[in-house]
């Protein structure tokens, strides 16, 4: 499936901003099953330079800074992305390795342990206590396939939690999400990662986009798509396998991968340091248009 990707972020400031430094993590990754062409960044006002860098996880980041007073900032990225993924669905199981066997494999193989360790340990935004382990305990059985356990976990989050925008912020701790049983894709992904890691398995955070389908018979609205987040779990004998706890699906061709890391803090799509007083408003429009 081919998509034209358009992601527009606009900041409006009450007071003029004199200096601004920003780091973007918006460029879709190039993967065996995903290609990205014609990636373009358009920033208004125009910075003198945009610097591309490959980060620790192989994601592409872009740095720019602005030094003239401005009250409005727009970051517009566009790309042509092709996904070659069979929409597998939950019927296909890539590996039947049980939790017990998977754990054994991770312990025995040093290079595997090195590769996975940082996705097993707590990370800046994913820490857990007994509440988290208790929540997930009925999903994980030692003799069951690890894959099934993660599927169970995603289903549990999907059925027990409500998708409620604006209830959480990027800094809401997982415990609070767990207690309130509501949040957005980022919260559900962090929760799922915490659960999986608490049982000793490797899970990472995936940031990207999801093509949304309009209600039947209605035209698709501009800007109606969204940046999205899901998780990837390491399943021995198979490798990294994506799961989307927000939608209770195994991501397929409608999921576009931008970046991954231990959690959100490694891959925020857009972060910036402002030198100014005053408040700002933010609007984001995303379009994932099939071509």
Q: In the numeric block, which tokens belong to residue 2?
A: 């081919």
In the complex, the smallest distance separating the C-beta of residue 210 from another protein, rounded to whole angstroms, is 24
Which listed residue (118, 131, 175, 285) binds another protein by CB under 8 A?
118
Q: In the numeric block, which tokens belong to residue 154?
A: 């995603």
In the complex, the smallest distance separating the C-beta of residue 21 from another protein, rounded to whole angstroms, is 4
Question: Distance between CA 250 and CA 165 in Å, rounded?
Answer: 22
Q: Which is nearer to another protein, 71 or 113 (CB)?
A: 113
In the complex, the smallest distance separating the C-beta of residue 255 from another protein, rounded to whole angstroms, is 25
Question: Distance between CA 23 and CA 27 in Å, rounded?
Answer: 12
Question: Distance between CA 121 and CA 113 in Å, rounded?
Answer: 11
Is there binding between residue 213 and another protein (CB under 8 A)?
no
User: Which segment (2-10, 79-87, 157-165, 268-276) binds another protein by CB under 8 A?
Assistant: 268-276
Is there binding between residue 63 and another protein (CB under 8 A)?
yes
Which listed residue (111, 130, 159, 281) binds another protein by CB under 8 A?
111
Q: Which residue has the tokens 């995936």?
A: 206
Half-sphere exposure of 195 (CA within 13 A, CB side): 27
Q: Which is nearer to another protein, 34 or 59 (CB)?
A: 59
Q: In the numeric block, which tokens belong to residue 268?
A: 């925020």
Which listed residue (169, 217, 219, 291) binds another protein by CB under 8 A?
169
Q: Which is nearer to another protein, 18 or 84 (CB)?
A: 18
Which listed residue (171, 217, 218, 219) binds another protein by CB under 8 A?
171
Which listed residue (107, 275, 289, 290) binds another protein by CB under 8 A?
275
CA nearest to 247, candidates 285, 287, 221, 210: 210
Whether the Cβ atoms of residue 88 and residue 250 lie closer than 8 Å to each other: yes
Q: Which is nearer to another protein, 152 or 276 (CB)?
A: 276
Is there binding between residue 134 and another protein (CB under 8 A)?
no
Strands 203-210 and 255-261, by their bridges, are antiparallel
Q: Which residue has the tokens 């989307």?
A: 244
Is there binding between residue 42 and another protein (CB under 8 A)?
no
Q: Could you give phi then psi for residue 273, rounded to 5 degrees?
A: -115, 125
Is there binding between residue 273 and another protein (CB under 8 A)?
yes
Give the footprint of another protein on this chain (CB under 8 A). 18-19, 21-23, 48-49, 51, 53, 55-57, 63, 65, 67, 110-111, 113-114, 117-118, 121, 169-171, 266, 271-277
């Amino acid at each position: 499936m081919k998509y034209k990707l358009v992601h527009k972020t606009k900041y409006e400031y009450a007071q003029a901003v004199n200096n601004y430094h920003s780091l973007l993590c918006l460029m879709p990754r190039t993967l065996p099953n995903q290609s990205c062409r014609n990636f373009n960044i358009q920033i208004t006002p125009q910075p003198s330079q945009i610097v591309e860098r490959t980060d620790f996880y192989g994601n592409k980041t872009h740095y720019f800074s602005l030094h003239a007073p401005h009250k409005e900032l727009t970051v517009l990225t566009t790309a042509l992305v092709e996904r070659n993924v069979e929409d597998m669905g939950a019927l296909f199981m890539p590996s039947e390795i049980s939790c017990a066997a998977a754990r054994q494999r991770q312990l025995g193989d040093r290079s595997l342990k090195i590769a996975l360790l940082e996705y097993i340990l707590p990370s800046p935004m994913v820490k857990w206590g007994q509440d988290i382990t208790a929540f997930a305990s009925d999903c994980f059985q030692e003799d069951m396939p690890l894959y099934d356990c993660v599927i169970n976990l995603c289903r549990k989050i999907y059925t027990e939690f409500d998708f409620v925008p604006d209830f959480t912020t990027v800094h809401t701790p997982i415990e609070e999400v767990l207690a309130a049983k509501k949040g957005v894709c980022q919260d559900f992904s962090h929760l799922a990662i915490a659960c999986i890691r608490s049982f000793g398995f490797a899970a990472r955070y995936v940031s990207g986009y999801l093509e949304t389908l309009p209600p039947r018979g209605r035209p698709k609205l501009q800007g109606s798509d969204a940046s999205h987040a899901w998780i990837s779990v390491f399943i021995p004998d198979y490798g990294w396998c994506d799961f989307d706890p927000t939608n209770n699906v195994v991501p397929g061709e409608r999921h576009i991968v931008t970046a991954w890391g231990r959690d959100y803090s490694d891959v925020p799509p857009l972060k910036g340091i402002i030198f100014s007083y005053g408040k700002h408003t933010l609007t984001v429009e995303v379009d994932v248009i099939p071509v």
